[in-house]
Amino acid sequence: MFSTSISTAQLAVHGDASHSVLKKGDLELPPIKKILSDLPEVSSSLPPHTEIIEFEEQQEMFHELRDIIEKAQEVDEAVNSFDLKELHASLEEADASAKRGRRDAETLQSVSATLQKLWNCNSEYLVQAAEIIADGSRDPSWRAPFGQSGVLNFFLDLVALKGEVDTSLLLQSLRVIGNSCADTDENREIVVKGNYTLAIIRYFLDPDLIFVAIPVIYNICMDYKPAHAQMAANRTAYILLKLIKEGGIEDNEALLNFSYDLIELASEQAEGIENSPNGTILLLMELAIDETLDFAHFSSLATSLAAYLEKEKFQNVCVSNGMVEGVLDVLRHSFSIVVDPSLSEDVKALAQLRLKINQALAEVSASSLFAQYYPLDSPLSQTLKSWVVATEDQLQICACVMLGNLARSDEVCQVMVRDLKIHEELIAVLKGDARGAVLHSSLGFLKNLAIAGDNRAILGEAGIIPAISRLWAYESVPQVQFSAASIARQVIISSMGNISRLLAPLSQDLDSPAHQRTYLSLLLSLFEKTDSTPIKTEIGRTVASICRTVSPKARDRDEEATSLLDRLYTLHEGVSLPVGAMITQTQWPVVRSEGWFALALMATNKLGCAAVVDCLHKTEVTELLKTTLSGGTPNQDNAEETDKSQEIKDRDNAFVLVQGLLKNESGTLPVGYRDMLEDLAKVKALQLKAITDV
């Protein structure tokens, strides 16, 4: 609430009002006066001073007004001084009710009329009357009657006047408005309906009134969403940010607290963000890295900045005006913000802020403009590269995500690996003691890099497979397990060298049991332990990829391929089970087709055939085999449809699978299985004959 100790200095205007437009690059920072001039005027119904009233009559009106307000105060004081033990309970209740009943809209109708008359005659008593009402408005019981009687409207119209009004009168008027709106939504509704928040915001430029105008807006907005939206639409955030930046309120801690809260409130309103000048984000950045900033103020600024950068408009402004470095500075500065470790809420809040900033940077770097303005040889890219091995988790995550977003073409990915050798730092992170979130972002970046041409071979030579193999047992974060399994599949695609590394022994000691186990053995162990269908599927696709690359070469009697195929089947019991999981899953028909093709390849090799028989024993693949060969479509729980050409491919591969089993099973099939397979082959042969006959 606002007391009477407020100064009533003469009107002066902040220097901003006459400043020319400031710029950073091509980004304009328009002066506050220009911002306000672009907003609509707020109308006032107060007439000009045209009435002449004798001084004695003015004095009498003032005394009547004062008596109404002050006598109510005296009643309260008298009631509070009674010795309740000396009063009969019923008499006390009746007396108190009668006296408090004077605080109603009907009683205040005469006050409202008196204020109008004092205004009409430009009475010198108007300031005193306003001060009395302002003092009374500190009492919550006056607030609703002030709104209902028109008293509040009078003072709202007064602050909305375009002409010159005595500063002292404006000050008391603002006090009435601020106190009347405290926790009183019906009065706040009156303010918002007439867009009077804008009239009040204009006084932010008056150094003699700003210290009361800001708290008034705060009182109107607190816990009242319509006021939030209007305040934001009136560009309050930009105005306050510019005032703070230029030192307009830097010496008043209370005003700063109100201002930062209002800035954050405005950032929650979509309309307010869209209407904000482009330079708003520059002000947010510059203020957020102030070394003297405390946690609460930093929190408001960082939260607001993240909210602005959710919008494509400000993402583009940020990138095209070279301000992404500024956002990086905010994230980096967050690590110099001191919070009391014993205050767990603050510790958590600071961690959440870093996440918000990181998410904003991720969105910004995903912009199509990002690569255009920040190529690989830019200082920003160099900064991010250094952050990959930073000691702060969020800096590492930021670097991986942003550089990963930059790695959108084979050319860029190859430069990152071949010239910048960024993969070496990422692999070092995987080998270290990084937390799950850092591992996940590093793996995501590596997966992008592994897509391009020669990068798979370079990653393999750098030790990517041993590095990711330890993460296949990272049970605390399933996303890390999935990403690590996914990279294994990615790096072996069409790469004999990396397949060889995946099938290499875990130990070179011939006497060690680990010599008979490979990195693929570890991946198959994960398959046995996990309940995650995506992880199981990735492991199956890895086995399928090995078969796709090695089997054709082995058929052509390539010695290396033959050796690898032998290792695949002799050292890995259950190697076909992940492929079976590809076929039995119901989410992705394309993956199921990939599984049929892989089993068909396996069945063309005698050792592989034994693995396929094992798959038929232990899974539901046999029933699906019958369904597929008979022309049916397995059930699926995904919206993805299986097209006819895919169904035909599945039947053809299933038929090749059956033929391979009949040719290479060497008596390993259970009794009755061979007969069943022969029957299926005959059915398929008849189908093919029918097609030929047609």
Least confident piece of the model among 68-72, 134-138, 623-627: 68-72
Q: Which three-class secondary structure state does DSSP give residue 476?
A: coil
Radius of gyration of the chain (CA): 38
Distances, alpha carbon 449 to alpha carbons 271, 369, 422, in Å? 40, 21, 10
Task: Please state, as a whole number, how many other Cβ atoms lie within 10 Å of the Cβ of residue 444.
Answer: 17
d(CA 338, CA 2): 33
Residue 14: predicted pLDDT: 42
Distances, alpha carbon 619 to alpha carbons 511, 570, 582, 659, 668, in Å? 35, 20, 11, 20, 16
d(CA 428, CA 434): 10
- Joined together, the tokens standing for residue 226 give 């319509």
The residues pairing with 505 across neighbouring beta strands, listed in sequence order, are: 518
Residue 686: predicted pLDDT: 52
Q: Could you tell me if 654 and 676 are in contact, meaning their C-beta atoms sit under 8 angstroms apart?
A: no
Res 17 pLDDT > 50 = no
- Joined together, the tokens standing for residue 285 give 């950045």
CA trace torsion 258, 260, 261, 263 (10° rounding)? 120
- Joined together, the tokens standing for residue 612 give 């396929």
Distances, alpha carbon 669 to alpha carbons 574, 598, 621, 662, 673, in Å? 16, 19, 14, 9, 6
What's the pTM? 0.83
- The residue behind tokens 């049970």 is 475
Res 22 pLDDT > 60 = no
Q: Could you tell me if 627 and 572 are in contact, meaning their C-beta atoms sit under 8 angstroms apart?
A: no
CA dihedral over 8, 14, 18, 21, signed as positive or negative:
negative
Residue 460: predicted pLDDT: 97
DSSP code of residue 150? T
d(CA 567, CA 506): 13
Q: Write out the H or E segment, with its range, that includes residue 24.
A: strand 22-24
Q: What is the pLDDT of residues 24-57, one digit of tens each?
A: 556 888 999 999 988 988 888 888 877 788 888 8
CA trace torsion 675, 681, 682, 683 (10° rounding)? 110
Q: Could you tell me if 155 and 116 are in contact, meaning their C-beta atoms sit under 8 angstroms apart?
A: no
Residue 101: predicted pLDDT: 39
Res 476 pLDDT > 60 = yes
Question: Quick one: average pLDDT of 338-361?
Answer: 92
Q: Could you tell me if 671 and 614 are in contact, meaning their C-beta atoms sit under 8 angstroms apart?
A: no
Q: Which three-class secondary structure state does DSSP give residue 29?
A: strand
- CB-based contacts of 239, cutoff 8 Å, min separation 6: 32, 35, 36, 201, 204
By CB atoms closer than 10 A (0-12, 13-18, 19+), residue 98 is: exposed
d(CA 292, CA 307): 23
Mean pLDDT of the chain: 86
Res 639 pLDDT > 80 = no
Percent above pLDDT 90 for the chain:
61
Q: What is the pLDDT of residues 503-524, one digit of tens each?
A: 999 988 887 888 889 999 999 9
